[in-house]
């Protein structure tokens, strides 16, 4: 009921924003051109709007990161037309949707459905049908001709029915998409998960603040980061360690400095409090102290190696949050999963994490898409504007934690992923194989018996484009849970992603 009240109070505001966007005057040609500093944020952008500086057009990758998805209506890849041509199932009825985009309002809806079975091992063997719905609103103040360089992001999400996570019994979820939103209901969960504001500033600075999922920006990886279209196992979607510093979702503020396309520096602070409830709901935030804050410094290196894009990220995090003792029951430990990690009554926590991605081979004619310069090539089917090129690459994540205060004290993952290079004529299909390993703290194993030292997971998937708006993935996993009482779980499943 509490979540429903939030939705009830929020929808009038969303409708008001839509009315403002539709009623806002169209940007006038040459009006209020972006300052030189803001143009630097845009880079070499060829799609800048005619009015005030548009952050969406200058840096669409911000929207991709916020959605954790590689498309939205109104981006450079959007196509209208018949059912087997258009990018979204609803298309642009009557031109209304494009009119909203022209005035700064981007509305997108995605529905993801799963049919998965745990065939053997784990805690139980079941066939499960379940799914999730995401509603994204992105309001660009520059395109609305209000002020340059601002965007407001709102994310509502829900999931229905239980998935196979409890059947597998692993610390990290077999289906990351079904882990959130985590509300008080067991099966049907709805929440207004995120709402925050981003503002481009002079000197190549960008600031953001509000309630957000830090992993959308702080653990990005171009080859393994999208649970709706890539891997499903949590350890192959995100690094689990940052979750001990910023719960999903919480109040966060960050300031980014990107002096050029190669280097990016970000300072982040946010709330790491039990009152925040580590869920998609609001939480109380009424008993906060400085001990409830976490701090992160983030550095990203983006480079090009002989026409093959590469990416390296490192985060250093620190928190003064006090946690419970390791002296807890097995039942409580496994009920918590990774969401609320106990520590041995330490008053600080710290970590170093990182990830990298490197293309090994790039399909001829697609590398320029990475640099935002490629025009659509109908003969090759390459329309990957503002996205990594078609090709094959490797990726990895790693992290380290003190073992005397964390369940996972080391984490590693690596894999191989290809997009647009599977079979002749299948230029939009994707595939991936990967492994993730979570090392369980020796101090924890000394207090709680029958725990393995590692939780391992192997996963492979193939994502087949049915239409530009519908994708079907087949997925298989082998997960050996940390609980010694559980055998290796073997899963097989289908995922249908629909973009409305």
Task: Output the domain CATH number for residue 371.
Answer: 2.40.160.180
Domain span including residue 388: 2-499
**Number of C-beta neighbours around residue 452 at 10 A:** 16
Total domain count for the chain? 1
- Per-residue pLDDT in tens (0 to 9) along the chain, 500 residues: 333 333 333 333 333 333 333 333 333 222 233 333 333 333 333 344 456 899 999 999 899 999 998 889 998 888 888 888 899 999 999 899 999 999 999 999 999 999 999 999 999 998 999 999 999 999 999 999 999 999 999 999 998 888 899 999 998 999 999 888 865 555 557 888 999 999 999 999 999 999 999 888 888 898 998 888 999 999 999 999 988 888 888 899 999 999 998 999 999 999 876 555 444 555 555 555 667 789 999 999 999 888 889 999 999 999 887 765 565 556 656 665 544 444 445 678 899 999 999 999 988 755 544 443 344 444 444 445 666 788 999 999 999 988 888 889 999 999 999 988 877 778 889 999 999 999 998 888 888 888 899 999 999 999 999 999 999 999 999 999 999 999 999 999 999 999 99
Cα–Cα dist 111/459, whole Å: 23
Tokens standing for 460?
């492979």
Q: Which residues contact 387 (CB under 8 A, 6 or more apart)?
A: 64, 70, 77, 369, 370
Cα–Cα dist 129/114, whole Å: 6
DSSP code of residue 177: G
Residue 456, classed as helix, strand or coil, is: strand
């Amino acid at each position: 009921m509490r979540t429903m009240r939030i939705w009830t109070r929020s929808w009038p505001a969303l409708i008001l924003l839509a009315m403002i966007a539709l009623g806002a005057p169209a940007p006038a040609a040459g009006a209020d051109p972006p300052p030189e500093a803001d143009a630097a944020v845009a880079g070499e952008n060829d799609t800048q709007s005619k009015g005030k500086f548009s952050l969406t057009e200058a840096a669409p990758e911000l929207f991709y990161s916020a959605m954790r998805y590689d498309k939205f209506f109104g981006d450079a890849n959007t196509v209208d037309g018949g059912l087997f041509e258009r990018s979204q199932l609803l298309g642009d009825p009557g031109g209304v949707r494009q009119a909203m985009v022209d005035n700064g309002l981007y509305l997108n809806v995605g529905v993801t459905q799963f049919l998965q079975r745990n065939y053997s091992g784990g805690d139980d063997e079941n066939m499960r049908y379940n799914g999730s719905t995401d509603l994204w609103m992105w309001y660009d103040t520059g395109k609305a001709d209000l002020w340059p360089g601002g965007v407001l992001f709102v994310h509502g999400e829900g999931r229905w029915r239980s998935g196979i996570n409890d059947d597998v019994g692993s610390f990290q979820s077999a289906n990351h998409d079904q882990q959130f939103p985590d509300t008080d209901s067991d099966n049907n969960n709805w929440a207004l998960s995120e709402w925050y504001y981003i503002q481009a500033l002079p000197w190549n600075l960008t600031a953001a603040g509000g309630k957000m999922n830090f992993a959308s920006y702080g653990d990005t990886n171009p080859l393994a980061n999208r649970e709706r279209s890539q891997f499903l196992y949590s350890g192959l979607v995100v690094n689990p360690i940052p979750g001990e510093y910023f719960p999903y979702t919480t109040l966060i503020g960050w300031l980014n400095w990107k002096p050029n396309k190669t280097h990016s520096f970000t300072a982040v602070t946010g709330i790491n409090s039990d009152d925040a409830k580590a869920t998609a709901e609001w939480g109380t935030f009424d008993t906060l102290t400085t001990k409830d804050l976490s701090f992160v410094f983030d550095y990203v290196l983006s480079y090009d190696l002989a026409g093959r894009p590469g990416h390296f990220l490192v985060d250093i995090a620190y928190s003064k949050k006090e946690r419970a003792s390791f002296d807890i029951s097995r039942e409580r430990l496994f009920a918590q999963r990774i969401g609320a990690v106990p520590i041995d009554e330490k008053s600080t926590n710290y970590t170093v994490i990182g990830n990298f991605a490197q293309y090994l081979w790039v399909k001829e004619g697609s590398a320029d898409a990475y640099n935002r310069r490629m025009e659509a090539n109908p003969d090759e089917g390459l329309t990957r504007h503002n996205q990594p090129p078609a090709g094959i690459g490797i990726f990895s994540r790693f992290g380290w934690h003190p073992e005397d205060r964390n369940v996972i004290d080391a984490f590693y993952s690596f894999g191989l992923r290809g997009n647009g290079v599977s079979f002749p004529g299948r230029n939009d299909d994707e595939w991936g194989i990967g492994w993730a390993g979570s090392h369980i703290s020796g101090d924890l194993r000394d207090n709680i018996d029958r725990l393995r030292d590692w939780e391992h997971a192997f996963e492979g998937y193939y994502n087949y484009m049915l239409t530009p708006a519908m994708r079907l993935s087949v997925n298989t996993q082998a997960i050996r849970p940390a609980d010694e009482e559980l055998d290796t779980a073997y899963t097989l499943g289908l995922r249908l992603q629909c973009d409305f």
